[in-house]
Structure 1
Amino acid sequence: MKKTTKFMAFMVAGATVLSMAACGAPGGAAGASGINNDPKANDDAQCQNTIKKKGVEKVTLWAWYPAVEKVVDNFNEAHDDVQVCWTNVGNGSEAYKKFNTALKAKSGAPDVMQVEAEILPSYVSGAEKHLVDLSQFGASKEKSKYTEGSWRDVTLGGGDSVYAIPSDAGPFAMMYRKDIFDKYGVKVPTTWDEYEQAGKELKAKGFPGHIGNYAPNGTAMNVALFAQKNAKVYDYDVSKPEDVGIDLTSKEVTDVMSYWQRLVKEGIVTTDDCYSNDWYTKIVDGSYATVVNASWLIGYVKGVSGAQEGAVWQVADAPKWDSSTPMVNQGGSTLAVTDQAKHTEAAAKVAIGLWDSEANQEVAVKDSGNFPVMNSKLEADDFINYEEPFLNNQKVNDVLAPIAQGYKGYSFLPFQTYAYDEQTKAFTKIVRDGADVSSTMSDLQKTLDNYATQQGFTVKK
């Protein structure tokens, strides 16, 4: 196989905040090898936060977590040897776009950057590696502090290298309108078979909305639905940088897509695009009886205006296919050290330690709306017993924490944004146009196989 040696940065318009990412062709050892040591380089850096300890080394950070400034202030107050200089360069796609520009210019990138877990392979798979392997700075010792799945996600294959530190997760669960199920005398579903039956019952008993929605642009949400079926649609191990796995024609995948196509034809689910204003409005106005998504959606929904009077929301495990259905995650961010870090060791200290305090874990949960991945927080009595007012004082973390702890990790491609864009087109044809599932998924497989080959990868068979 001919290897491509130059770094290829591309930007693909996606359906989520993951619409900008870098992609490199395979080759060489994974992880940025350049270690820099210039503690004075950021002395004149401009910070959005106020640096109170003067004359102390600065480490620059790009991040868009809610309440991140409070997190930074807490870290800075606790450290006399390093101060975090934070800048909000925009959410997701905006940040990645600016990061890509800095990579191309070979200057202007931050020392530490928030990177979503599914985007990590895009920045460590190329001939030029842009994220530092933090194991050389002791990151491997942090493994026991984190959930199994979140740690595997930052090792990109489960090896010894560590390309980022997990920050938060998105346990895959089902929000549901208890008042709607009670009003129509329908049992809340615990399996996907029961989900279909409940949708039919709600419709037959006069519920004017739908039991739920299948969003073809759901990207990671739709991958989570496949993962529930134990389907590994995307696979990448950074220790084998030339190989990618793509499996979109398995029986498990076609079963999932056929299921949703059938529910659409039965008129019990809609196919609205997710994360739009209209979608959020339909969630709160009673158009959907359930929303199956990441736990972080709760924070967004409770902030949406126009909620239906008398709505009673609760959270339960996402419906399962059978007893083999695994715990699944959707989304989650990390902190990574870039190859442009001025003082790599200090940057690693920030990435490893920024969230690792009781104070900042509290900020993560109460102010940022992040779902924790540190075992100490997941097991804390105050966390497990927290009663969420929006959910009628349900102890929601009693449901969500076992999902986060049961998640085993997942893999994504070095060109995940491109894959998301193409899968959205295919899923739209299936659920909105009624296209044949097998042939449409076969066409999607060929499209991604060809793209991978063009980028210099070998598709594992």
Structure 2
Amino acid sequence: MRKKVLATILTCTMVASVFMGCGNKSEDTSKDTAKTPTQEAGDTTGTKTQGTESPSKEELSGTITFAIWDNNLNEFIEQNDMVGKFQKEYPNIEIEVEKIKDDSEYWNAMKMRASANQLPDIMFNKPFTLSRFKDYLLDLTSTKACENNELASGYAINGKVLGIPMTSGYEYVYYWKDLFKEAGVLVPTTWGEFEEVAKKLQEFYGKDDPNFMAIACGLKDEWPDYPYMEFMPALESGNGQNWNLMATQDAPFAEGNDINKAYNKIYSLFTSGVLGKDPLGLGNDQVTSLFAVKKAAIIALGDWGLQNIKNGAEDISQLGTFYLPTRNTKDDPYNVIVQGDSFMGVTTHSKNPDAALAFVEWFYSDAWYPSYINYVSSASSMTNFPKDKEPILAESDELCPDKVLIMYDGGGDNFTAIQNETTFDYKKLGAQMLTDGFDLKNTLTELDSKWKDARAKLNIK
């Protein structure tokens, strides 16, 4: 096996590392009808002819290109000889691994290569780019990788699974159990209870400590309100595609719509005093540090936030988590945001789709995936290879056995175009709720007007 630099046309400033095997190259002219090479004979949607046997591992041959921007993944596949391990099972398939500098350059490169009919065999997508490249990706619904993935079907487009997410990410509400106990409050399970618990905590501890925050949220940075402003409309509706739905509506912020309901809930919470005396004067690092020393009782962050809290806390024995309860009653579904990440797909430009599909199946098998998922901090997306959560994070699942996972999509091209045209920034809007003279009703009415005009100007239906 040898390593060389792969020169790839039509990319901006691409750094490529290539791992070459010693197999024979062959071309398969099948394109978007390709499926897994392990399908039953007689399936006319597969790459093989009806009634023929699937090719064996030795019979599959050719070169497949694997394009990534993820530095951690690139480091892991180099250190653990991904190509060599794959070729022990598929000796006649060569793999070229292209490392692109970052995700921005990656999307620029993929856009140009799509137009030039030169996409790599294997590419990665985010939830919001699957629709952008939907015409260039094969349907992976019938693969074992899809069958065993807990998120893939939730991101299907027009009934087709176009990518298998490598990891899943959850959002948590971190809290101090001892502070809850002393104040006489329990973990909330509805939005009304959440507001009430926060108010009681603020009243109980705030009377002696004017700097206390029931809920720590560093709105000086604006983005830390994302668990509320970004995710709650999807939680309210139970629709992870809420931003894309909004792109089809002229008045998505109108009274009665899910984003209107969610933002009214948030406004009520944010303006109730539970964020402390100066929520706009503190950034995320500051409030996380204050939470770590129990100057706040609650903070909402992703799984990545746990390490930051640990770094600032002397003792985490009383640290717990629960999922943000946005439902109105206990009879409503307990919706919980989950995000798939790094969706591996096979492109219609692949000249060796059977080989590419074999690689996808191998990547998500016990030959490779368990070691990869244990290397990264993210949660497993595969039901057959579960990864134990940190005990503190696992408490959320113990408290919410009936949770309903909402597969979050960050919004496609149409939403982004309208968002840019209207300058709608949900994170900034959350911070503005704390400013003097802010009027939520008027703000949402104005956004509806801008939204309608933007859709007309951009000719988005």
TM-score in terms of structure 1 length: 0.68
User: C-alpha distance in 1, partners of 2:259/2:405?
Assistant: 20
- In structure 1, what is the equivalent of residue 166 of structure 2? 167
User: C-alpha distance in 2, partners of 1:190/1:211?
Assistant: 16
- The 1:95–1:257 alpha-carbon spacing in structure 2 relative to 1, beyond 3 Å, is same
Aligned pairs (5 A) from 1:347-366:
347-350=356-359, 352-353=360-361, 355-358=363-366, 360-366=368-374
- The 1:161–1:433 alpha-carbon spacing in structure 2 relative to 1, beyond 3 Å, is farther
Task: Report whether the alignment pairs 1:51 with 2:49.
Answer: no
- In structure 1, what is the equivalent of residue 375 of structure 2? 367
Task: Report whether the alignment pairs 1:82 with 2:103.
Answer: no
- In structure 1, what is the equivalent of residue 405 of structure 2? 407
- The 1:259–1:48 alpha-carbon spacing in structure 2 relative to 1, beyond 3 Å, is same
- The 1:341–1:401 alpha-carbon spacing in structure 2 relative to 1, beyond 3 Å, is farther
Q: Is the 8 A contact 1:172 1:329 kept in 2?
A: yes
- In structure 1, what is the equivalent of residue 55 of structure 2? none
How far the C-alpha of 1:268 sits from its partner, in A, is 0.7
> Cα deviation per residue 1:312-361 (whole Å; 9 max; x = unaligned)?
322223224222134332432112345665645544444x3364123544
User: C-alpha distance in 1, partners of 2:436/2:81?
Assistant: 52
Which shows bigger deviation, 438-447 or 427-436?
427-436
> Cα deviation per residue 1:419-456 (whole Å; 9 max; x = unaligned)?
38613254443344552222212322333333333333
- The 1:98–1:339 alpha-carbon spacing in structure 2 relative to 1, beyond 3 Å, is same
Aligned pairs (5 A) from 1:50-199:
51=19, 53-55=21-23, 57-64=63-70, 66-67=72-73, 69-70=75-76, 73=80, 75-76=82-83, 77-79=85-87, 80=90, 81-90=92-101, 92-93=103-104, 95-100=106-111, 106=116, 110-124=120-134, 129=135, 131-132=136-137, 134-135=138-139, 139=142, 143-147=146-150, 150-153=152-155, 155-156=156-157, 159-199=158-198
- The 1:304–1:53 alpha-carbon spacing in structure 2 relative to 1, beyond 3 Å, is farther
User: C-alpha distance in 2, partners of 1:401/1:75?
Assistant: 37
SS in 2 for 1:211: strand
Q: 2:344 aligns with which of 317, 335, 340?
A: 335
Q: Is the 8 A contact 1:199 1:268 kept in 2?
A: yes
Q: Is the 8 A contact 1:112 1:347 kept in 2?
A: yes
How far the C-alpha of 1:307 sits from its partner, in A, is 0.9
> Cα deviation per residue 1:368-426 (whole Å; 9 max; x = unaligned)?
12222222234xxxx4xx4626x3x96666568864xx325456433344438613254
> Cα deviation per residue 1:85-109 (whole Å; 9 max; x = unaligned)?
44443554454345446557x4885
User: C-alpha distance in 1, partners of 2:263/2:364?
Assistant: 40
- In structure 2, what is the equivalent of residue 257 of structure 1? 263
Q: Is the 8 A contact 2:214 2:275 kept in 1?
A: yes
User: C-alpha distance in 2, partners of 1:433/1:120?
Assistant: 41
- The 1:98–1:457 alpha-carbon spacing in structure 2 relative to 1, beyond 3 Å, is same
Q: 1:325 aligns with which of 316, 333, 338?
A: 333
Q: Please identify the structure whose Cα radius of gyration is greater.
A: 2
SS in 2 for 1:415: helix
Letter in 1 for 2:345: A
- In structure 1, what is the equivalent of residue 237 of structure 2? 230
User: C-alpha distance in 2, partners of 1:307/1:83?
Assistant: 47
- In structure 2, what is the equivalent of residue 444 of structure 1? 447
- The 1:281–1:437 alpha-carbon spacing in structure 2 relative to 1, beyond 3 Å, is same
Q: Is the 8 A contact 1:140 1:160 kept in 2?
A: no
SS in 2 for 1:301: helix
- The 1:221–1:298 alpha-carbon spacing in structure 2 relative to 1, beyond 3 Å, is same
Q: Is the 8 A contact 2:414 2:460 kept in 1?
A: no
Task: Report whether the alignment pairs 1:291 with 2:294.
Answer: no
User: C-alpha distance in 2, partners of 1:273/1:359?
Assistant: 50
Q: Is the 8 A contact 2:66 2:120 kept in 1?
A: yes
Q: Is the 8 A contact 1:426 1:441 kept in 2?
A: no
User: C-alpha distance in 1, partners of 2:280/2:23?
Assistant: 53
How far the C-alpha of 1:192 sits from its partner, in A, is 1.8
Q: 1:315 aligns with which of 306, 318, 321?
A: 321
Superposition CA RMSD, Å: 4.1
Task: Report whether the alignment pairs 1:301 with 2:306.
Answer: yes
- The 1:140–1:55 alpha-carbon spacing in structure 2 relative to 1, beyond 3 Å, is closer
How far the C-alpha of 1:117 sits from its partner, in A, is 1.0
- The 1:355–1:290 alpha-carbon spacing in structure 2 relative to 1, beyond 3 Å, is farther
User: C-alpha distance in 2, partners of 1:175/1:200?
Assistant: 17
Aligned pair count reads 386
SS in 2 for 1:332: strand
SS in 2 for 1:206: helix
Q: Is the 8 A contact 1:118 1:331 kept in 2?
A: no
Please list every run of 5 or more consecutive structure 2 residues that lacks an aligned counterpart in the other structure. Answer: 9-13, 25-62, 207-211
TM-score in terms of structure 2 length: 0.68
How far the C-alpha of 1:168 sits from its partner, in A, is 2.3
User: C-alpha distance in 1, partners of 2:152/2:300?
Assistant: 21
- The 1:301–1:309 alpha-carbon spacing in structure 2 relative to 1, beyond 3 Å, is same
Please list every run of 5 or more consecutive structure 1 residues that lacks an aligned counterpart in the other structure. Answer: 1-41, 238-242
